Chain A
Amino acid sequence: MGTENVPTNLHIDNFIMQSTTLILILLVLMAVAFQLGCRRAYNLPGLGCICDLHSLPVYHGFYTAIWCGVPALLLLGVWSSVQTPIVINLLMDDLPVMMTAGLSQAELSLVLNDIRNLAYGNITSGEVSRELMAVADHYNQLQQTGLAVQSVMVILLALITTALGWRFISPELRARNKVESVLRWLLLISSTIAILCTLGIIFAVLFESVRFFEMVPLTDFLFGLQWSPQIAIRADQVGSSGAFGAIPLFAGTLLISFIAMLVAVPVGLMAAIYLSEYASQRLRTYAKPLLEILAGIPTVVYGFFAALIVAPMIRDSAAQFGVDASSESALAAGLVMGIMLIPFISSLSDDVINAVPQALRDASYALGATRSETIRQVVIPAALPGIVGGVLLAASRAIGETMIVVMAAGLSANLTANPLDSVTTVTVQIVTLLVGDQEFDSPKTLAAFALGLLLFLVTLVLNVIALRVVRKYREVYE
């Protein structure tokens, strides 16, 4: 997370603009290449009819377009990633000896950094000498030249490969198969990107967590009962003990999730049973989408609903009974989160209940069972694995939910089972730890990564269980 060698914004801006323009030009070229390819396939000399071609002309068009675009894009990518290192190498060779003599690697990189900052008009670490100015100018010049050469090379390559692809077109060319295989690669790359991103996120969180656990023992984190991440900067500062016990956070998360599930599971399940077993087809077509609108409300809206309406309501009604309730309570957050999760559970349960074969219901009715007996003793048991899967998915949603709890549950890490108290959750703490300007070498900020990792593991386990259960369910009737 160091700041060295990070290109400044100006450079990135320049670079992105150049690349975007180039890509746009390439797209236009590809469209032209597509047309050219199609035309050539139609007008191939000695072609009686289109059926003499191995592939339809449109595939020849795609084929030429791919020839035009793919090599040029590859060149663009490679060039963009190697230009800066090469320029820096050139620069190092050209540096006046007096500037580099007797410098260590670290000092050298500082000089380099100064040069680049200077080149982009940023603040440097020391006084600006005339030599440094000259070198910075030189650096700028090299970069500009590099970009210019890049544009020319990329467009030139695109034109050459287009001509090449165009020449390859013949009646025997298996253009369709080639386009298909390129498509396959494209799809493969897309899915790889998704997987790599997930892995990247996991490793980023993992490495930062390892750094955290170098400073705070794992056992303190996992079993500590006190959460107080502020660390004293001065000796006389109060209330900043720097305790990193995650138990109160997970207890708060579990308390709120439990309340949420207590609301969502019965209501969602009964709504699903009503919709799938009792409601007429007409009612169903209207009620189901209406219920699912609940799922479309942004959580931040639920958040202020919880903070501004539900929480004061709970505090006031608790006061009526002479009970002291915090104005930010676990109950408020949990209730509203439960409402948010209703469509989750009802929609998933509705699907699995509908998937129970009608033959089973008929069998039960034919034995003289009433509707509710059939639902209780045949339909629900048969759908149970699917329902459990839905509930677990909703539970992992509840545990990971942030916005509602940030707004409604509070920030104080109380270790309590009283739903009227204010508690805090893992996600809330991650937000508060990372909001604003932070340094990334204090245990306080790194704690966010450890919390994130733990949270990720918990939801991962829940999801795996849910998927397992759902898969098992699928096997029952096949």
Chain B
Amino acid sequence: MIVERTAPAEEMFQVIHANFGSTVGDLTVAEPRMTARNVNVHYADKHAIIDVSLDIGCHEVIALIGPSGCGKSTFLRCLNRMNDTIESCRVSGEIRLDGQDIYDKNLDVVPLRARVGMVFQKPNPFPKSIYDNVAYGPRIHGLAESQTALDEMVEDSLRRAGLWDEVKDRLQQPGTGLSGGQQQRLCIARTIAVSPEVILMDEPCSALDPIATAKIEELIDELRQNFTIAIVTHSMQQAARVSQRTGYFHLGRLIEVGKTDEIFTNPQHKLTEDYITGRFG
């Protein structure tokens, strides 16, 4: 005889919750876009991410902060399986996008990465024209049915990235000829051209001057209307300015997560407090 062991949802939640004991604060949200549960990442012998669980809500900007080498970029790269390109990297645990397991063996990473886009630390436009940079994604995914549709897509993406007015007269010039801030906005335009649901940003402003940074931050705030954004940053001011929720990573663990203003005004964990008040890091 088989004993049915379906526990009530409430109880289940508690059980799961108990496992996340190491993280202070509420890591869940009411309307999650992505959910990560008990994620562990190993690089060869190095245990880079230890038991991290985190929800990323719809239309929110979540900032991941922490000292260098704490695993925040690694965690970010797990969310669209960019770690697959690193030979020695092993990921375990569960990450879901809209309820679908993205580490499922049958899942194709191509549509996944089209849904979860990424902007990198250093602006990395292709050595192609500005137009071709933005059109790259729509072309490989066959999103545009005609040249006019593609033109519109490129223009729309560049407009949303706040770059259109600066480049509309030189779309055929190489993207590498733009300034650093423009290059980064070009990379953002390139990412949103494939209409992702989530945009991962890995220290997108660390190579930019303050004015270019301000423009990108403004842009992030606008993009929040249409996209979910997870941003890794070293600048706590930036995290405070652009994000609604903040997670603090330390030595591969997610120490604390919560509403940004609460984290910065009233951190619960000693490590978070030390980092935010500048005692180390």
Which residue of A is nearest B85, CB measured? A365
Cβ contacts A to B, 16 pairs, < 8 Å: A280-B87, A281-B87, A359-B120, A362-B82, A364-B126, A365-B113, A366-B117, A366-B191, A367-B113, A368-B110, A368-B141, A369-B136, A377-B136, A378-B126, A382-B127, A476-B127
B21 an interface residue at 8 Å Cβ cutoff?
Answer: no
Contact with B along A353-383 (1 / 0, CB 8 A): 0000101111111111110010001100110
Which residue of B is nearest A378, CB measured? B126
CA distance A19 to B280 in the complex (A): 74
Chain A residues with Cβ below 8 Å from B176 are: 476
Which residue of B is nearest A358, CB measured? B85
Chain B residues with Cβ below 8 Å from A362 are: 82, 85, 118, 120, 124
Contact with A along B63-103 (1 / 0, CB 8 A): 00000000000000000101001010000000000000000
Chain B residues with Cβ below 8 Å from A382 are: 126-127
Contact with A along B10-44 (1 / 0, CB 8 A): 00000000000000000000000000000000000
B85 touching A361, Cβ below 8 Å: yes
B111 touching A368, Cβ below 8 Å: yes
**Among A359, A373, A381, A476, which residue has its beta carbon within 8 angstroms of that of B140?**
A373
Binding site for B on A (CB under 8 A): 280-281, 357, 359-370, 373, 377-378, 381-382, 476
CA distance A382 to B176 in the complex (A): 12
B122 an interface residue at 8 Å Cβ cutoff?
Answer: yes
B228 to chain A minimum Cβ distance, whole angstroms, is 16
Interface centre among A281, A366, A367, by most chain B C-beta atoms within 10 angstroms, is A366
**Among B111, B118, B141, which residue has its beta carbon within 8 angstroms of that of A366?**
B118
B110 touching A370, Cβ below 8 Å: yes
B185 an interface residue at 8 Å Cβ cutoff?
Answer: no
**Among A357, A367, A381, which residue has its beta carbon within 8 angstroms of that of B117?**
A367
A365 touching B82, Cβ below 8 Å: yes
Chain B residues with Cβ below 8 Å from A363 are: 120, 124-126, 187, 190
B21 to chain A minimum Cβ distance, whole angstroms, is 33
Q: From residue 166 to 208 of chain B, which have CB atoms closer than 8 A to chain A? A: 176, 187, 190-191, 194
Chain B residues with Cβ below 8 Å from A373 are: 140
A360 touching B124, Cβ below 8 Å: yes
Chain B residues with Cβ below 8 Å from A364 are: 126, 136
Contact with A along B106-121 (1 / 0, CB 8 A): 0001111110011010
CA distance A370 to B109 in the complex (A): 9
A357 to chain B minimum Cβ distance, whole angstroms, is 7
Chain B residues with Cβ below 8 Å from A361 are: 85
A274 to chain B minimum Cβ distance, whole angstroms, is 16
CA distance A367 to B132 in the complex (A): 13
Q: Given A363-B120, A367-B117: A381 and B137 within 8 A (CB)?
A: no
A372 to chain B minimum Cβ distance, whole angstroms, is 11
Chain A residues with Cβ below 8 Å from B114 are: 367-368
Chain A residues with Cβ below 8 Å from B87 are: 280-281
B137 touching A368, Cβ below 8 Å: yes
A367 touching B190, Cβ below 8 Å: yes
A66 to chain B minimum Cβ distance, whole angstroms, is 52
B269 an interface residue at 8 Å Cβ cutoff?
Answer: no
CA distance A381 to B129 in the complex (A): 12
Which residue of B is nearest A476, CB measured? B127
Chain A residues with Cβ below 8 Å from B122 are: 359
**Among B113, B124, B125, B127, which residue has its beta carbon within 8 angstroms of that of A368?**
B113
Chain A residues with Cβ below 8 Å from B85 are: 361-362, 365
Which residue of A is nearest B125, CB measured? A363
B59 an interface residue at 8 Å Cβ cutoff?
Answer: no
B259 an interface residue at 8 Å Cβ cutoff?
Answer: no
A366 touching B140, Cβ below 8 Å: no
CA distance A373 to B140 in the complex (A): 8
Chain A residues with Cβ below 8 Å from B118 are: 362, 366
**Among A281, A360, A365, A370, which residue has its beta carbon within 8 angstroms of that of B126?**
A360
Which residue of B is nearest A366, CB measured? B118
B215 an interface residue at 8 Å Cβ cutoff?
Answer: no
CA distance A382 to B111 in the complex (A): 25
B140 touching A369, Cβ below 8 Å: yes
Q: Given A359-B124, A360-B124: A367 and B136 within 8 A (CB)?
A: yes
B128 an interface residue at 8 Å Cβ cutoff?
Answer: yes
Which residue of B is nearest A373, CB measured? B140
B176 to chain A minimum Cβ distance, whole angstroms, is 8
A366 to chain B minimum Cβ distance, whole angstroms, is 4
CA distance A244 to B136 in the complex (A): 56
Chain B residues with Cβ below 8 Å from A366 are: 80, 82, 113, 117-118, 120, 191
A281-B87, A366-B117, A367-B117 given; name 4 further pairs at CB < 8 Å.
Answer: A361-B85, A365-B82, A365-B85, A367-B140
CA distance A377 to B141 in the complex (A): 13
B113 touching A357, Cβ below 8 Å: no
CA distance A373 to B110 in the complex (A): 11
CA distance A365 to B109 in the complex (A): 9
Interface centre among A359, A368, A370, A382, by most chain B C-beta atoms within 10 angstroms, is A368
B140 touching A377, Cβ below 8 Å: yes
B230 to chain A minimum Cβ distance, whole angstroms, is 13
Chain A residues with Cβ below 8 Å from B136 are: 364, 367, 369, 377
Which residue of B is nearest A281, CB measured? B87
Chain B residues with Cβ below 8 Å from A280 are: 87
A477 to chain B minimum Cβ distance, whole angstroms, is 8
CA distance A368 to B113 in the complex (A): 5
Chain A residues with Cβ below 8 Å from B190 are: 363, 367
CA distance A281 to B86 in the complex (A): 11
Chain A residues with Cβ below 8 Å from B128 are: 381
CA distance A370 to B112 in the complex (A): 12
CA distance A382 to B133 in the complex (A): 13
Chain A residues with Cβ below 8 Å from B111 are: 368
Chain B residues with Cβ below 8 Å from A360 are: 124, 126-127
Interface centre among B80, B111, B113, by most chain A C-beta atoms within 10 angstroms, is B113
